[in-house]
Amino acid sequence: MNDRLNRYVEITSRIKCGRRFCEFLESGGTVWDQPVGSSWRNVTAEAIERERLTVERLERVRSRLYPDLIVKEVTIYNH
């Protein structure tokens, strides 16, 4: 593969990974944080929001850089 296609695959993989992480958290996964000197706290909602924003940014970048390569993503799980 050429460098351009490699970069497209990298961005697409990061998008898919981010989506799956959000799905995992939305289905009951949790993220905990312990700031220095404080007790543990649940930051799941913040992690989901942060990851969603990252995915949205990556999708915008991908659509600007690779408008000719983007195809609708279809998986065996789509109905």
Residue-wise pLDDT for 19-34, tens only, equals 999 999 999 999 999 9
At residue 69, the pLDDT reads: 86
Is the pLDDT at 78 greater than 50? The verdict is: no
Cβ of 51: how many Cβ atoms within 10 Å? 18
Within-domain flag for 44: yes
Q: How far apart are CA 53 and CA 47, in angstroms?
A: 10
Among 31-35, 41-45, 73-77, the range scoring the smallest mean pLDDT is 73-77
Phi and psi at 75, nearest 5°, equal -125, 170
In a domain, 72, yes or no: no
| pTM to 2 decimal places | 0.80
- Domain count for the chain: 1
Domain that holds residue 37: 3-65
What is the pLDDT at residue 70?
72
CA 34 to chain centre: 23
User: pLDDT value at position 32?
Assistant: 98
Long-range own/partner contacts, residues 47-50 (CB < 8 A, 24 or more apart): 48/22
Reduced to 3 states (helix: H, G, I; strand: E, B; else coil), residue 76 is coil
Of residues 77 and 58, the one with the higher pLDDT is 58
